[in-house]
Amino acid sequence: MSLKEEYNKFRGKYDLPSFEELEKHFDLEDISEETNKEKILSNIRKKIYEKIDFLVEFLSSIIYLESETSAVYESGNLTKEEKSQIFKIYKILMFIKRSALKLIIESSEEREAEFIKLSFERFIKIKDQLIEFVDKIKNGWIKDENEKKKAEYFG
């Protein structure tokens, strides 16, 4: 039985998001088809954790201005209001991350399913804001270049 088919047994039991949606957002293709059937949910939790952890580290560097030049530059392209919004997103991601930590300590099928369901819902709610901030930060790297071209054109 495929990983998707095994997952769908849990999906029906716990009203979980579709396998396709989870795969789309959390790169589940790395989970082996030979995964122990009882470990499917915990392996999905680990994949969710990996993505959330990456996003937390990225946002943390922007919020707390770590010594990386890139973080200092990128933070300078954001308004106070945007930084405040980023911190709100950061808090949601940290809640998900700490919820995963609790499952490392004490896990059960029901708790793993609840984590997957709630983490997915929270991630979907903040995804568009994350994309917006990443685009702004990314575009900040060419902002000076574009302003220079405008100045030269009108200069």
The pLDDT-based confidence of 36 (bands split at 50, 70, 90) is: low
Rounded mean pLDDT, 99-108: 95
Is the four-CA dihedral 106, 108, 111, 112 of positive or negative sign? Answer: positive
**Tell me, what DSSP letter sits at residue 35?**
S
Domain ranges of the chain: 3-154
Looking at residue 89, its pLDDT comes to 97
Q: What percent of the chain has pLDDT over 90?
A: 66
- Which residue from 70, 62, 68, 59 is spatially nearest to 92, judged by alpha carbons? 59
CA atoms within 13 A on the CB side of 12: 5
Rounded mean pLDDT, 67-90: 89
Contacts of residue 134, Cβ cutoff 8 Å, sequence gap at least 6: none
Q: What percent of the chain has pLDDT over 70?
A: 86
Report the chain's mean pLDDT, rounded to a whole number.
88
Residue type, 98: R
Looking at residue 67, its pLDDT comes to 66
pLDDT digit string (tens) for 120-153?
Answer: 999 999 999 999 999 999 999 997 665 544 444 4
- Rounded-to-integer distance, Cα 25 and Cα 150, Å: 38
Residue type, 140: G
